[in-house]
Amino acid sequence: MEPENQRPVPPGGETLREKAEKRVNQRVGLLYHIGTYVVVNAFLVVIWALTGAGYPWFLWVMAGWGVGLLINIVAYFSGSKGEAARERMLQKEMDRIKREQD
């Protein structure tokens, strides 16, 4: 007899808990990335302000890192939608193959 929290994994698939853990890990990673971006860039602005507030060089760092952060955010928010779209396409293709075989 199997424990309730360890159900068999369907072939080629993940359990609901594994999917949830993966999604939570992605969210935590994204939040760490955002937090690090804010703290480090705030520190750079303070350094800029304390050293005479001349040319705003910190904007180059913000822009470069911001592109990476934006890619991370887009990947996070499109992840579950992308998986759902893939599943729909897969199901549609399986249905088409079944019709062809009949």
- Is the confidence at residue 83, as pLDDT, over 90? no
CA nearest to 40, candidates 12, 64, 62? 62
pLDDT digits (tens, 9 = 90+) for 18-39: 888 888 888 899 999 999 999 9
Residue, of 87 and 36, whose pLDDT is higher: 36
The Cβ of residue 54 has, within 10 Å, a number of other Cβ atoms equal to 7
Contact by Cβ (8 Å): 30, 70:
no
| Helix H or strand E encompassing 21 | helix 16-50
- In this predicted structure, which of 27-31, 43-47, 78-82 has the lowest mean pLDDT? 78-82
Residue 57 has a pLDDT of 93
- Report the C-alpha gap between 18 and 31 in whole angstroms: 20
pLDDT class for 92, splitting at 50, 70, 90?
confident
Tokens (6 digits) for 67: 């592109």
Q: What confidence score (pLDDT) does residue 94 get?
A: 84
